[in-house]
Each structure stands twice: as C-alpha cells, then as structure tokens.
Amino acid sequence: MNTNGREHFEWDTLVPCMVHPVKVAVVEAMHWIDEPISPRELDTVLDEEYGVSLVAYHVRVLANMGAVEKVGQQAVRGALQTFYVLAAKEPANPALARE
C-alpha cells in the first residue's frame, strides 16, 4: 500500500498491453531499414500482415508523437505517397532518458 491507504498500481503490467504491436513492428522495421520509407513499403516489408491502412494509421500516430518524421512525398497514380524516417534517437524529453 502507499501513503494514502490505496494499493500501488502495477504500471509494469499495463504498459506492455498499451504498446500496439503494429507500432513496435513499424519502429523495428524503420530502424533496421534506416532510410526513408512509405507505409505501403513498410506493409510489404512486414509481409502484408497488417494491411496498408493500419500501417499508415500507426505511422501517422507515431509522427504525431514525434517518433517518426515526414521527409517527403511523391505522386503515385493520382495519390501522394509519404515517406518517413525515425526521428532522432534521443528522447524528445531528456529527463525521460534518466528514469
């Protein structure tokens, strides 16, 4: 129990459940490839296990979080293909690195 009489919350149990496997797969693939890549190309690298829509969604979420960054776009058959790279290897908040 903690000081207010309530039991300690087990974050170590919750965090792995909150980390989405597609985000993990995307980050690992981007780290391994280490060059600009589009969600379509990532889906191919991931053996089309998740589908382009789901991969693209998670890449956009990772971009909004600052984990990946958009580096370019290219017109492909009337649509824009967007390319991303992993953001800086250091955390955005250096204080988090010390925890």
- Domain coordinates of the chain in residue numbers? 11-97
How many Å apart are CA 56 and CA 58, to the nearest integer? 6
3-class DSSP state of 86: strand
- What percent of the chain has a predicted confidence (pLDDT) above 70? 77
How many Å apart are CA 66 and CA 15, to the nearest integer? 19
Look up the pTM and report it. Answer: 0.73
pLDDT of residue 26: 95
Please name the helix (run of DSSP H) or strand (run of DSSP E) that holds residue 80, with its range, or none.
Answer: strand 79-86
Calculate mean pLDDT across residues 84-92: 74
pLDDT digits (tens, 9 = 90+) for 40-56: 999 999 999 999 999 99
- What percent of the chain has a predicted confidence (pLDDT) above 90? 60
pLDDT digits (tens, 9 = 90+) for 45-84: 999 999 999 999 999 999 998 899 999 999 999 989 999 9
pLDDT of residue 23: 93
Phi, psi torsion values for 13, nearest 5 degrees: -80, -35
CB atoms within 10 A of CB 25: 17
**CATH fold group of domain 11-97:** Arc Repressor Mutant, subunit A (1.10.10)
How many Å apart are CA 27 and CA 33, to the nearest integer? 10
